[in-house]
Amino acid sequence: MSLPGKIATKLTGSYLLYASTIFLSAFLLFAIQPIAGKHLLPWFGGSSSVWATSLLFFTSMLFVGYLYVFLLTRYGGKRQAQIHGLVIAVGAVSALISFFGWGSLFPPLLSIASADAPPAQNLLFALFAAIGAPYFLLSTTGPLLQYWYGISKEHEADAALGTATGNQSLRSWTSREPYKLYALSNLGSLLALVLYPFVIEPIVPLFREEHWWIGSFFVYALLCAFVCRAAYRLRPTAISGAEAIPAVAPTRILTWIALAALPAFLLVATTTHLTQVIAPVPLLWVFPLALYLLTFIIAFAGRGSWIFVPLLWVASAIAAYLYLSYDYGDILLQIGSSLLVLFFGGLACHARLYEMRPPTAQLPLFYVLVSFGGMFGTLCASIVAPLIFPDFWEFPLGIALSAAVASALLAEGFFPRILDTEKIRLTRIAFTALAAILFMQVVLEDSGVATISSRNFYGNTQVRFDEETTRLTHGTTLHGTQYNAKKWANIPTTYYSETSGAGRAIREAEKLRGNEGVRVAVVGLGTGTLASYCRDGDAYVYYEIDAHVKDIATQYFSYLSHCRNVEVRIGDGRILLERERVQQELGGYDVVLIDAFSDDTIPVHLVTAQAVDLYRAHLRSEMGIIAIHTSNRYLDLPPVVLRIAAALGLNAMVVRDSGDSNAGASSSQWVLLSPDPSVFTSSTFEDTDSWLPKPADVLWTDDFTSILHVLDLPVPWK
């Protein structure tokens, strides 16, 4: 075989090893994220901040992993392989200890979370304790293997051909571009992102997902060990950290960081805007992240440097600004324009990063700065923005930044020919100033509304005042209304009217207990509207995860003050009820109402077979009622609850109320469950708009849930 043929064969084999290891590591990096989310959901609810804070953890761990690679490459080649071999062993042993210690990758959250700590801190700590070591190992793979591959191929080519021969074309032919492996890495991440919600979650139970992930992780660890062995056997000088590495100019460093930070900021801002302001559609968060990864794939495959990309970025930013305010009739245009800003912004920045990529010797520094930029952008959007903005202003800020940066990247050929270089520069500055002014206009317009807006980890709440009512909204969803006039102030409104499923359930309990007094548990506080049913002798216990909502309900609404025996317990409703059952402090409730959904997203751990069985355990008698609020624009939940009822031997009734027969009422849909079938034959439930849909084909349990089975998207233009 000729010399080039031998070299090509050797390179092909090593390329497959490096590529498969990088691809599998990226796939596992993204596959573990939704698995972790299912374990963490009971503690932190369904707010978008859970996703944003989790993303901060993942980007931070990537930065730490990339920083480790940068420091590792300061050592000689054999030492690098030895150190990383030890890291592989620690990561593998950590996963084994977790899995055999408590039968899961994740330790019991009750044992590691602090009741006094902020939720974001608890979430970050829980993620670190559960998957910190394996995730760190996975995060090191991409940059380290790219570096090893690029350096080793250059030296192999030099050794085989001799750099003094002058045959640089042959040398170039034998060396593959290491940065192309970054595109492959993001392809693996994208594949995991798409497969999980649409293929894995709908058919695989959670414990099987963990088993599969751990098995794949050990396959990855074995492949990584083979790569370490290959690196160890290289000539000592092949990947030596002692080689002189040219210094990088500070302006170039700042540019790398900024080009990585802006798309990461846009990713979080766009996702928050779509899921909190526009349309809290389940699985909608997948699309921004998929586009973000796609921009990396295109850019680092060397195909993102199209001259029209900055122009399209400017155009999409203008369109997104025009459709910034929520309007259900324009929902598709709003979603589309928002996603286009993210896509073209990510593509423009990441393509510029690829163009500015340094030689292989500087690859670790390049990636550590890129990861730092990603972490910084995520931090600003997920932690800093909620602290300083009372409303969701990060996406309008992202639009303004997009317009400014896109105009700076726009080629001079797109400006009128009559403008010289200096005038083009002034035009760019003027466009940036205009973008800043428009952003401030959004802020000032929001500040001028008769609204008290506040924001924390669990989202944005707004108390809106008008002449007749005071309303509480969360994103685009109404969470309660109260009339200002005293004679109407204690009327149950919105989804809790007399003819709603909740109202009928409470009235039936009152009928059965007479003057004895009823005990009602409500998971989800809102304005506390259900306390309007409270009589002397009744007891109402609310379970609310967000302490700030309690402050709002007591300060701006008077429903709770109407009830003499009312209590608000702070924490996730299911966890608190479970803790009370373990401590044998069953509530003895006549009615248990589940209404803790934020917008149209649902904490699925509240509607599983185990959860409903827990609610039943807290009922005082077989005549008790469990009422689950299933009003939703995007999910068909009654079949899910009916399937759970059939599995647990409960009787069910779906109560749909138009809201037309009561002042201040809204249309609502509740599913009522009871152990005793005679409950729903009572006169209380006469003349109800009720039906029993076909139960779902799959049973939701703590180990298996899938939004895909119940997704029911409306068509806005009907």
Q: What is the pLDDT of residues 316-361, one digit of tens each?
A: 999 988 888 766 667 788 888 999 999 999 999 999 999 999 988 8
Q: Matching CATH topology for 1-243 and 248-446?
A: yes
Is residue 22 within 8 A of residue 141, CB to CB? The reply is yes
User: How confident is residue 652, by pLDDT bands cut at 50, 70 and 90?
Assistant: very high
Predicted local distance difference test score (pLDDT) of residue 678: 92
- Average pLDDT of every residue of the chain: 83
User: How confident is residue 221, by pLDDT bands cut at 50, 70 and 90?
Assistant: very high
Predicted local distance difference test score (pLDDT) of residue 487: 87
Beta bridge partners of 594: 523, 628
Domain ranges of the chain: 1-243, 248-446, 463-710
* Helices 250-272 and 394-409, axial angle in degrees (round to 10): 140
Predicted local distance difference test score (pLDDT) of residue 170: 37
Mean pLDDT of the 13-21 span:
84
The Cα-based distances of 365 to 252, 257, 304, 348, 369 in angstroms read 12, 11, 22, 21, 6
Q: Which of 258-267, 324-333, 530-539, 611-620 has the lowest mean pLDDT?
A: 324-333
User: How confident is residue 220, by pLDDT bands cut at 50, 70 and 90?
Assistant: very high
Q: CA angle 485-491-497, nearest 5°? A: 145
Predicted local distance difference test score (pLDDT) of residue 624: 95
DSSP string, 360-406: GGGHHHHHHHHHHHHHHHHHIIIIIHHHH-SSS-HHHHHHHHHHHHH
CA distance 143 to 363: 7
Burial class (CB in 10 A: 0-12, 13-18, 19+), 179: buried
> Whole-structure pTM over 0.85, yes or no?
no
Helices of type H across 233-249: none
Q: Which CATH entry fits the domain spanning 1-243: 1.10.3470, 1.10.10, 2.60.40, 1.20.1250?
A: 1.20.1250
Is residue 544 within 8 A of residue 577, CB to CB? The reply is no
Predicted local distance difference test score (pLDDT) of residue 282: 59
Burial class (CB in 10 A: 0-12, 13-18, 19+), 9: exposed
Above 80 in pLDDT, residue 209?
A: yes
Mean pLDDT of the 579-588 span:
86
Percent of the chain with pLDDT over 90: 40
Q: Which residues contact 303 (CB under 8 A, 6 or more apart)?
A: none
Helices of type H across 273-381: 286-300, 309-322, 331-355, 363-379
Percent of the chain with pLDDT over 70: 85
Per CATH, is 463-710 categorized as 3.40.50.150? yes
Q: Which residues contact 246 (CB under 8 A, 6 or more apart)?
A: 359, 361, 362
Greater model confidence, 132 or 453: 132
Mean pLDDT of the 548-576 span:
90
User: How confident is residue 171, by pLDDT bands cut at 50, 70 and 90?
Assistant: very low
Task: Quickly count: other Cβ atoms within 10 Å of residue 202's Cβ.
Answer: 15
Task: Quickly count: other Cβ atoms within 10 Å of residue 573's Cβ.
Answer: 29
Greater model confidence, 159 or 452: 452
Chain-centre distance of CA 211, in angstroms?
23
Q: Which of 64-73, 202-211, 277-286 has the lowest mean pLDDT?
A: 277-286
CA distance 175 to 150: 7
Nearest-10 Cα torsion for 565, 650, 631, 548: 30
Above 70 in pLDDT, residue 168?
A: no
Q: Which residues contact 448 (CB under 8 A, 6 or more apart)?
A: none
CA distance 232 to 209: 34
Predicted local distance difference test score (pLDDT) of residue 603: 77
Burial class (CB in 10 A: 0-12, 13-18, 19+), 644: buried
Mean pLDDT of the 510-516 span:
89
Q: May I ask the CATH architecture of the domain 248-446?
A: Up-down Bundle (1.20)
Predicted local distance difference test score (pLDDT) of residue 326: 64
Task: Quickly count: other Cβ atoms within 10 Å of residue 655's Cβ.
Answer: 24
* Helices 573-582 and 609-617, axial angle in degrees (round to 10): 50
Predicted local distance difference test score (pLDDT) of residue 6: 46
Closest to 282 in 3D by CA, of 169, 373, 198, 408: 198
Predicted local distance difference test score (pLDDT) of residue 251: 93
Predicted local distance difference test score (pLDDT) of residue 476: 65
Q: What is the pLDDT of residues 112-132, one digit of tens each?
A: 555 556 677 777 887 888 788
Q: What is the pLDDT of residues 102-112, one digit of tens each?
A: 667 776 655 55
The Cα-based distances of 513 to 403, 592, 623 in angstroms read 64, 15, 10
CA distance 559 to 553: 8
Q: Which of 251-265, 335-349, 480-494 has the lowest mean pLDDT?
A: 480-494
Q: What is the pLDDT of residues 224-240, one digit of tens each?
A: 999 888 877 765 544 55
Q: Longest C-alpha distance within the chain, in Å?
A: 102
AA identity, residue 532: S
CA distance 304 to 306: 6
Is residue 118 within 8 A of residue 43, CB to CB? The reply is no
Q: What is the pLDDT of residues 411-440, one digit of tens each?
A: 777 777 777 778 778 888 888 888 888 888
